[in-house]
Amino acid sequence: MMQIEEITTPEGLVAAGHSRLYRLLADGFSYPDSESFETLKTGEFRNYAIATCRDLPYDLEPVFDGLVASGTHTDFQAEYLRIFEVGMGVPPCPLYSGVFQGGRKAVMEELARFYSYFGLSIEHGSGELPDHLTTELEFMHFLAFKELAALDQQKDPEPYRRAQADFLERQLTNWLPALEKRLRGLEPPPFYAALAWLLNTAARAHLAVLDGSLDRNVSISLEQV
């Protein structure tokens, strides 16, 4: 992915903020290895979240204090496994959108079309399935960066904004409230409760911003892929 050295315009700062935020959220919902846990416990993750959201056109500050882990790495990993990975049939709070939306095969097929439309292959991603939350967040990170690159090259950013709006509407905001609600009922570590609130709130706010600036009667045509 290309590097952009300096961002000075308000539009560019917002696109960069969204790209960094979705990357940060994907990292937060990934399995916590020792290195990532250290960033959570020391407050580095929280501080980066604060800096990342500074240029976004909506307020996410109420959640920042919760974005810190406590306890031991072993206990934190065990909680991640208890909530997101281990269960009879499905985990207590699966991170797969197809489980929440129903018709998982159709959901994954549409996601694969989204990714393919922009030249991406799931085989070259993080190794997760197309409907895993981290895969979807990495895709949003990619789209926001493409918007930023278009602005930097003085090209039209609207196709990437429209793609973000379509993906948020069709593949994220319709199941994230259920994810957050189910997670709250499992008495998760405060970090994950805060992270789910941040994701759900930011996704809905981002969609509202995009809807305010786009003609949503026009959308990308996945059926042509």
Those residues whose C-beta lies under 8 Å from the C-beta of residue 103, and which sit 6 or more positions away, are none
Q: What is the pLDDT of residue 113?
A: 92
Query: Looking at domain 10-224, which CATH architecture does it have?
Result: Orthogonal Bundle (1.10)
Residue given tokens 């969609």 in the structure block: 207
Residue ranges of domains in the chain: 10-224
The Cα 129–Cα 107 span in angstroms is 11
The pLDDT tens digits for 95-115 are 999 999 988 999 999 999 999
Q: What is the pLDDT of residue 3?
A: 55
pTM of the model: 0.91
CA distances from 4 to 16, 127, 189 (A): 10, 27, 36
Whole-angstrom Cα Rg for the chain: 17
